Amino acid sequence: MPRLNLQLIVIGQAAIIFLPAAVKADPPAKILKVSTKDDLASMVDSAQPGTTIILKDGIYKLSSPLVFRKKGVWIRSESGKRDLVILDGKKGTGQLKREHCINEIVAIKASNVTISDISICHTKDHGIHISPAKEGNIRNVVMRNIHIYDCGQQLIKVNSNGGKPLYWTDDCILEDSLIEFKDNSIMHDMGSYYYTGGLDVHGGNNWQIRRNTFRNIQREGKMNSEI
């Protein structure tokens, strides 16, 4: 089956694409509750397969990405209200600038990871970055009811592993989410264009993308790389 190269930009309205169904999984059984006082990056890195990380309301100021290396780890807000839990990659309290942010908030390198009911903002590059490790294809990543905004490059980026053989990301879901720029000054300015976009999947099969809103992705004056 040929690989799907997906670069989706829809401005100001919901985007609905129906593709073959991905496999649905039950939530992991182990519960780990976290507050803004905890070292969230370390807790994600050490989470074992079968763990759900539940975030209490608040703004989580991150100095390093949340790297999901193990299969079957979920993260969500306790309230289910995405705007009450914000993962923020901006360093300090000054003006928002791309160079003053961490590279990315969420890095997914394993299958069966679910991100839901949270907001993600302010990175140098991506809000969520999915790329396989050496073990094979990633499958069954679910992004549900998330709000991603103001990241320097693609808000959601999906790459291959870049090696031989090539591994990709299949059978994933993005649904009921808001992907947008509130402050487009953070966009990566390449001179003749902005190297930004909403969702950029370099290769993947059986993705479902439905009931999402992509807003203010295009910036006046120059084209974006994903349009």
The pLDDT tens digits along the chain (227 residues) read 455 555 444 433 333 344 444 445 566 679 999 999 999 999 999 999 999 999 999 999 999 999 999 999 999 999 999 999 999 999 988 899 999 999 999 999 999 999 999 999 999 999 999 999 877 999 999 999 999 999 999 999 999 888 888 899 999 999 999 999 999 999 999 888 889 999 999 888 899 999 999 999 888 777 776 65
Identify the helix (H) or strand (E) that includes residue 75.
strand 73-77
Spatial neighbors of 55 by CB under 8 A, at least 6 apart, are 34, 35, 40, 75, 76, 77, 78, 85, 118
For 43, the 3-state DSSP assignment is helix
Q: How far apart are CA 197 and CA 169, in angstroms?
A: 19
Q: Which long-range contacts (CB under 8 A, 24 or more apart) does 53-59 make?
A: 54/78, 55/85, 55/118, 56/85, 57/81, 57/84, 57/85, 58/84, 58/85, 58/86, 59/86, 59/88
Candidates 198, 154, 195; CA nearest to 178 is 198
Taking a C-beta distance cutoff of 8 angstroms, is the pair 58, 88 a contact? Answer: no
3-state class percentages of the chain: helix first, strand second, coil last, to nearest 5: 5, 45, 50
Burial class (CB in 10 A: 0-12, 13-18, 19+), 169: buried
Q: What are phi and psi of 45, to 5 degrees?
A: -65, -35
Q: Distance between alpha carbon 120 and the CA centroid of its chain, in Å?
A: 8
Question: CB atoms < 10 A from the CB of 45, how many?
Answer: 15
Domain segments of the chain as ranges: 4-224
Length of the chain in terms of residues written: 227
* DSSP state at residue 40: H
C-alpha to C-alpha distance for 30 and 27, rounded to whole angstroms: 9
C-alpha 3/C-alpha 202 separation (Å) is 9
